[in-house]
Structure 1
């Protein structure tokens, strides 16, 4: 069955401000790898690569997303404000052209301990009938909570049939109300369990937690970074300089931690921006354009 993929990367990342005042959310690094690259690598692991098979939508700071994606994907630049998760697909209707669509949120961090970076999503495609809707999900702490599907929370990837995509307008809308809930009511939605680690990275706390997971038990330091201070469970990007102390900190590429600074549970960008991180939260569906 012919399937294409769309990475939703148009959102403003309002919950990550002021970090997303400098970079679009899709290019924020997790484990020193931009989120968009993680999504494209994951799809490539499924055999979905190149501008005929993969599309990326862009809007907020879209020139940065376009330049970064380059020729690796078909690019759909939305004018004005982001069109939302459903509108973004509607805007790509002519490109999708009759195919099923594997849709991934750019801000989804997934880590399968057995088979990264792609085969963990392959379960969505396995045995698909081409007509039903599939969501990748994890059991919810409260199975009856709003935003759950069959007692699961959505973890970033869904599989949609062409019959439900072809009529989506290129106007603002979200997949929850436009596709997922109607399919659920019709008995045409299936949740595929995902047993790996998931963070949606949309808040500073979840973004930090995803970075620390990517770093493992210690710290992850780019070979071009300079660290002369104290480092504990932190991620340090390319060209960054850490002369002070950093504990559970993400230091963005090119950022600096001065010799007198003591940072804990935070994200540092540049020389002057420090964003504190609170406690991680559980995911909420369809937040790719927030």
Structure 2
């Protein structure tokens, strides 16, 4: 399956709701634990395919620099971001008849995708979901950022800005061509500062996360907080439920 599977990381979003953190770096490059969200996404795909594309729009220069030494195909979305469906439509020549495994860069999702891929029938769109009745996309199930799509579903997508649910999955659902697989592990959609902090605390088991090269002075107090790589916390400071990024502090209440 790995030889015939194209992996795609969707990483072109602006991260508007994650501001002000996304004023410092693209959402996909915001760190969760020891790695950028993008690197977590690439790691998810690595076990099942070695042929991976990343779509890029917002923060293009930083994204290109981050990926400069990676063996990935860059899909540069000029003019405007294409959305989830438009991103795949733009990638059709690269996909070239293969099935596609898509994952969202902004999801913190520790999961082994080998069983998800191995059990696929190759015909129906397969979506990884979590049980979340309050925010369900398909009854009580909420899509959590991994999809397997057969080539015939990708081949019909155009490159204009559009979403996968509207362009493909709604029809699949109506035609009983959706295969919903429940994920019982952790998942956080890092759409807001509160969610982003929650993802870091889930990664660490609830303790504060201090990035590589960050400086926490003696006497400083950290409680359920995140300090980005290279940031500094002074000796008289007490951070509670906060993100320190550079000289910026975001308090989550």
TM-score range, shorter chain: over 0.9
Structure 1 residue runs of 5 or longer lacking an equivalent are 113-119, 218-232, 279-290
| Alignment match, 1:132 | 124
Matched, 1:268 2:219: no
Matched, 1:177 2:166: yes
d(CA) in 2 for partners of 1:56 and 1:183?
A: 25
| Alignment match, 1:195 | 184
Q: Give 4+ residue runs of structure 1 displaced > 3 Å after superposition.
A: none
| Alignment match, 1:72 | 71
TM-score, length-scaled by structure 1: 0.82
Give the drift of 1:150: 4.3
Secondary structure at 1:102's aligned position in 2? Answer: strand
Matched, 1:121 2:117: no
Give the drift of 1:82: 1.1
Give the drift of 1:67: 1.6
Give the drift of 1:25: 0.7
d(CA) in 2 for partners of 1:123 and 1:202?
A: 27
TM-score, length-scaled by structure 2: 0.94
**Count of residue pairs brought into register by the alignment:** 248
Structure 2 residue runs of 5 or longer lacking an equivalent are none
Give the drift of 1:122: 2.4
Aligned with residue 28 of structure 1, among 30, 49, 56: 30
Matched, 1:59 2:52: no
Q: How does 1:133-148 map to 2 (within 5 A)?
A: 133-142=125-134, 147-148=136-137
d(CA) in 1 for partners of 2:228 and 2:94?
A: 35
Maintained 8 Å contact 1:100/1:159: yes
| Alignment match, 1:252 | 228
Higher helix share: 2
Matched, 1:10 2:12: yes
What is the CA deviation profile of residues 101-121 of structure 1, one whole-angstrom value per residue up to 9, with x for unaligned ones? 000000111124xxxxxxx22
What is the CA deviation profile of residues 109-166 of structure 1, one whole-angstrom value per residue up to 9, with x for unaligned ones? 1124xxxxxxx22233123222211100111234xx6x52142001110111111111
